[in-house]
A and B are shown apart, each in its own frame.
Chain A
Amino acid sequence: MATDVAIDRETLVTLLVRLADDHLVLGHRLSEWCGHAPMLEEDLAMPNMALDLIGQARALYAHAAEVEGRGRSEDDFAYLRREREYLNCLLVERPNGDFAQTMLRQLYFAAFMEPFWKAASGSSDATLAGIAAKAVKEVAYHIRHAGEWVVRLGDGTEESRRRMEAAIEDLAPYIDEMFDDDAVTAAAARAGVAPQPSSLRSAFDRIVGPIFAEAGLTFTTPPYSQRGGRKGMHGEAMGFLLADLQHMQRTYPGATW
């Protein structure tokens, strides 16, 4: 993936922050299940995956801070930005809903990230390549875990299937945004830093398709797609999420332990 085309610092920081925000927000969402999961194994599984995602976010924020060179820390990125400054896609901020919604959201995001990390593990940015090489293996576990649940619920009882179908309909408008290209992703692709999101669509379909087939589920094409997250325009759920995420740092500025 390496090329000689340079990428300007601001564009690279934007790319890294988008990625980091996706992972922090989804990691926070999963951590909300801690203590509330339907069984002990899941109560361990979801914080475990949250830990992977937050760990990936930390590495990405730290790298962004270093590239930016303005003395911001990973904590500044996570705790001290306003809602409009978060650049995560809308899918990851969707509320947990029930288990079907949580697992389907997880499957969609993991099926997007797996081919992304695979391509980025050959990134011309050595730090991103290192983060990606580790993350690609972690995300493989996430796909397997979420995929098994999608099959179990889709091919389960009448009630579990009804809920999985409702989740498919509910989340359908939030898929397309993940695959949007723009000036930032184009510059990153030219410089061999990261793949264009649109190029990952077929790999996503190859992951999700067989899982849906095994579950006997059909994908519904949404009447519209929701967008805006990459530009800092978020849904109602995001403010509540940030209030929770940032509460300690906003209440006790500079607190450490």
Chain B
Amino acid sequence: MHRPSSTCRDLLPASGEKGERQHRAWAAAAAVPDPEVPCVTVADLGILRSVEIIDGIAVARVTPTYSGCPAVLAIELAVEAALRDAGFEARVERVVSPAWTTDWITPEGRDKLRDYGIAPPEKTSSSIRSLFGEIEVACPRCGSSDTERLSEFGSTACKAHWRCLACREPFDYFKCI
């Protein structure tokens, strides 16, 4: 059974000296960029679930975005390296439940994606669109919603390929799951 969805913000550590170390560890891990979409960090994407100090070891929990995302291992290694660089003994654990959703991408993360030229996912993944039902995606470049999907699957598992009919630019859309 699922625990209710939580975001990284709910998991901010407690106060006190241990809390201060956890804050430092969180900050170090949170700054790690996504290897495939480097404009956003693992915290922006909501895939860094928590960082806790357990028996003196910084334990970071991360969640894969897509089942077959090839970046997962790279992210885990990068988070571990960032924690070590910040002076922690570190361990990274993979958490599959509850499953990551694009709803966990922070508002800042969405803005960064748009600035980078990637249309952020629609607000919620709970509205499963009906088959053939199109969604409206605004062009990250000119803002027009006169856009069309070229392919459901793009250059990475998390993106679809779209184009803008107003400014004629092709763009990536971060799929909503």
Chain A CB within 8 A of B166 CB: no
B68 contacts A51, C-beta separation under 8 Å: yes
Which residues from A are CB-within-8-Å of B175?
141
Q: Mark B144-177, 1 if CB is under 8 A from A, else 0.
A: 0000001111110100010000000000000101
Chain B CB within 8 A of A235 CB: no
Among B64, B68, B151, B157, residue most surrounded by chain A Cβ atoms (within 10 Å) = B68
Selected contact of A127 from candidates B68, B97, B125, B161, CB within 8 Å:
B97
In the complex, chain A residues 114-159 whose Cβ is within 8 Å of any chain B Cβ: 121-122, 124, 126-127, 129-131, 133-135, 137-138, 140-141, 143-145, 147-148
Told that A44-B154, A130-B99, A148-B132 touch, could you supply 14 new A-B pairs with CB distance under 8 A? A41-B153, A51-B157, A55-B66, A58-B67, A126-B97, A130-B98, A134-B67, A137-B99, A137-B177, A138-B67, A138-B177, A141-B175, A144-B152, A210-B131
Which residues from B are CB-within-8-Å of A58?
67-68
Chain B CB within 8 A of A189 CB: no
Which residues from B are CB-within-8-Å of A147?
131-132
In the complex, chain A residues 20-70 whose Cβ is within 8 Å of any chain B Cβ: 41-42, 44-45, 48-56, 58-59
Closest to A137 in B: B177
Q: List 30 A-B contacts (CB under 8 A).
A: A44-B153, A44-B154, A44-B155, A45-B151, A48-B153, A51-B69, A51-B70, A52-B157, A55-B64, A55-B67, A55-B69, A58-B68, A122-B2, A126-B1, A129-B1, A130-B96, A130-B98, A130-B99, A131-B67, A133-B2, A134-B64, A134-B99, A137-B99, A137-B101, A137-B177, A138-B67, A141-B152, A141-B175, A143-B131, A144-B152
Chain A CB within 8 A of B104 CB: no
Chain A CB within 8 A of B88 CB: no
Q: Mark B1-22, 1 if CB is under 8 A from A, else 0.
A: 1100000000000000000000
B66 contacts A52, C-beta separation under 8 Å: yes
Chain B CB within 8 A of A90 CB: no
A138 contacts B66, C-beta separation under 8 Å: yes
In the complex, chain B residues 24-52 whose Cβ is within 8 Å of any chain A Cβ: none
Q: Mark B105-123, 1 if CB is under 8 A from A, else 0.
A: 0000000000000000000
Given contacts A52-B66, A52-B157, A211-B131, contact A145 B152 (CB under 8 A): yes
Chain B CB within 8 A of A2 CB: yes
Q: Mark B131-151, 1 if CB is under 8 A from A, else 0.
A: 110000000000000000011
A135 contacts B154, C-beta separation under 8 Å: no
Task: Give Cα A41 to B159, complex, Å.
Answer: 12
Which residues from B are CB-within-8-Å of A145?
152-153
Q: Distance in Å from the Cβ of B139 to the closest Cβ of chain A?
A: 19
Selected contact of B125 from candidates A121, A122, A137, A211, CB within 8 Å:
A137
Among A42, A122, A137, A148, residue most surrounded by chain B Cβ atoms (within 10 Å) = A137
Given contacts A45-B151, A45-B152, A144-B131, contact A59 B161 (CB under 8 A): no
Which residues from B are CB-within-8-Å of A49?
153
Q: Distance in Å from the Cβ of A40 to the closest Cβ of chain B?
A: 8
A133 contacts B99, C-beta separation under 8 Å: yes
B153 contacts A134, C-beta separation under 8 Å: no
A127 contacts B153, C-beta separation under 8 Å: no
Q: Distance in Å from the Cβ of A44 to the closest Cβ of chain B?
A: 5
B131 contacts A53, C-beta separation under 8 Å: no
Q: Distance in Å from the Cβ of B142 to the closest Cβ of chain A?
A: 23
B67 contacts A135, C-beta separation under 8 Å: yes
Selected contact of B67 from candidates A44, A59, A124, A143, CB within 8 Å:
A59
Which residues from A are CB-within-8-Å of B132?
144, 147-148
